[in-house]
Structure formats: structure tokens, C-alpha cells
């Protein structure tokens, strides 16, 4: 079993949110930042990593992402503010 990550990106503080899941967070963040994958995040300039959670099993990360995608926006914002009240880009904390 391989682990996974659930993450939230935004384009600016209190901006548009994107919830995703991956097995390689550093690679996925780089893809978002470079805009190499067409779609929602590229269209809205969503490049700032503001929240992430690690899981031992990818299936647990997928389930968490699925649940979070159905949350009201307010819940997601509260989750971000609990650990990142300044909406800083957390990319540098991954190294």
C-alpha cells in the first residue's frame, strides 16, 4: 500500500478553492503551479497550496477528498484557517 495526500489549492486568500488527492504531493503541486494540466485549476489560476493532509493508505485519502468535495465552502475555509490563517503558500514547507 502506498500513502496519499489530500490538498486544497486557491488562487488568492479567500479565493476559489480546489480540493484534490494525489500519491505524490510535490509533483502534483508543481503541475498546478506550472499550469501543465488543462482544466479548472489552470483556467482560474489556482496555484497556492493552502492545506494538506497525509494518509498512510491512498484509499483513505481518496475517501477524505470525496467527503471534503461535498462540504460547504465554510467548512473548507475553517479547515484552512485552523492551520494557515494567513493563507500562505505551503509549497516550501514540503522540503
Residue 78 belongs to a domain with what CATH number?
A: 3.40.1440.10
- pLDDT-derived band at 35 (thresholds 50, 70, 90) equals confident
Please check the confidence at residue 95 and state whether its pLDDT lies above 90: no
| CA dist., res. 20 & res. 26, Å (int) | 13
* CB 46 within 8 Å of CB 32: yes
Phi, psi of 40 (to 5 degrees): -55, -50
Element (H, E) at 18: strand 17-22
Query: pLDDT by residue (tens digit) across 49-76?
Result: 999 999 999 999 999 999 999 999 999 9
| CA dist., res. 79 & res. 77, Å (int) | 5
What are the grid coordinates assigned to 85, written together? 490563517
Instruction: Quote the domain boundaries for residue 86.
Output: 4-94
Amino acid at each position: 500500500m502506498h500513502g496519499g495526500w489530500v490538498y486544497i489549492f486557491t488562487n488568492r486568500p479567500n479565493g476559489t478553492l480546489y480540493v484534490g488527492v494525489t500519491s505524490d504531493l510535490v509533483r502534483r503541486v508543481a503541475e498546478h503551479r506550472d499550469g501543465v494540466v488543462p482544466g479548472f485549476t489552470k483556467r482560474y489560476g489556482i496555484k497556492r497550496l493552502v492545506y494538506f493532509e497525509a494518509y498512510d493508505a491512498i484509499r483513505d485519502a481518496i475517501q477524505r477528498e470525496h467527503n471534503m468535495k461535498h462540504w460547504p465552502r465554510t467548512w473548507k475555509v475553517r479547515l484552512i484557517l485552523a492551520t494557515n490563517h494567513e493563507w500562505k503558500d505551503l509549497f516550501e514547507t514540503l522540503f
